[in-house]
Amino acid sequence: IRVAILISGRGSNMQALAETVAAEDLPVDICTVLSNRADAAGLDWARAHGLHADVLAHREFGSRDAFDAALRARLDALAPDYILLAGFMRVLGADLVRHFEGRIINIHPSLLPVFPGLHTHEQALSQGVQWHGCTVHFVTPELDHGPIIAQGAIPVLDGDTPDTLAARLLPVEHRVYAQVLRWLAQGRVQLLADGRVSVAGAA
Ligand code: GRF
């Protein structure tokens, strides 16, 4: 399968996915690593590891719609089977999401549907939850509310700060996203009519 990975910064999730593809020789062609910011550190990593790296600077577009139209054209030219958002900090417009219906996947650092939006670790701490985690889900026009493919959970420990929580969660994000990519490569992820996801033969 062909996947495009979209990042905005460090790109540690993208790195984990690329390393999994290489280490396990998955039948996955990462056709591009695209960032909306030219200074994204993940772009340097991608280039250094022989991946196609691209920038579509949202600042150069007069409107969200214009950016989305350019992104759509850039992605259509590559014809990816899936578009994996990995620390991509732009909200995609409904038209773009509908155009790629069922092919855009995101990782969100909370156990959705709890704590959609930003500052999820702060939300978890302020609500006093005892379990936090990440969610890999299909992207739909409604932000952070698409069909859930996989989740990973971590305990919230006494004395946790947003930083310690984020640090404990990050390797779990990498493991969960890599597992989803394996399933995608095996063609086992199915979006059901009722909006839930089934993974054929999931262990
Ligand atoms: C991660 O916590 C991810 O869940 C969120 O953005 C953060 C950045 O991740 N979406 P990365 O290192 O850029 O992949």
**CB of 2 within 8 A of CB of 161?**
no
Look at the chain and count its residues: 203
* pLDDT tens, residue by residue, 35-76: 999 999 999 999 999 999 999 999 999 999 999 999 999 999
CA of 173 from ligand 1 middle (Å) equals 8
Nearest-5° Cα angle at 105, 117 to 73: 105
- The reply to whether 50 sits in an annotated binding site is no
- The reply to whether 11 sits in an annotated binding site is yes
Average pLDDT for 144-167? 97
Q: Which atom of ligand 1 is nearest to the CA of 88?
A: 10
pLDDT, residue 203, reads: 60
Q: How many Cβ atoms sit within 10 Å of the Cβ of residue 47?
A: 12
Ligand 1, CB cutoff 6 Å, lining residues: 7, 9-14, 86-87, 107, 109, 134, 173
C-alpha 129/C-alpha 185 separation (Å) is 34
Residue of 141, 64, 66 whose CA lies nearest to 104: 141
- Percent of the chain with pLDDT strictly greater than 90: 97
Q: Which of 45, 137, 173, 175 most suits a substitution to test ligand 1, by most atoms within 8 Å of the C-beta?
A: 173
Q: Which atom of ligand 1 is nearest to the CA of 169?
A: 2
- The reply to whether 36 sits in an annotated binding site is no
> What number is the ipTM of this complex?
0.95
**Can you give the three-state secondary structure of the chain, one letter per residue?**
CEEEEEECCCCHHHHHHHHHHHHHCCCCEEEEEEECCCCCHHHHHHHHCCCCEEECCHHHCCCHHHHHHHHHHHHHHHCCCEEEECCCCCCCCHHHHHHCCCCEEEEECCCCCCCCCCCHHHHHHHHCCCEEEEEEEECCCCCCCCCEEEEEEEECCCCCCHHHHHHHHHHHHHHHHHHHHHHHHCCCEEECCCCCEEECCCC
CA of 187 from ligand 1 middle (Å) equals 25
- Sort 59 into a burial class: Cβ within 10 Å, 0-12 / 13-18 / 19+: exposed
Q: Which atom of ligand 1 is nearest to the CA of 16?
A: 14
Nearest CA to ligand 1 atom 10: 87
Average pLDDT for 6-33? 98
* 156: pLDDT strictly greater than 90: yes
Average pLDDT for 108-119? 98
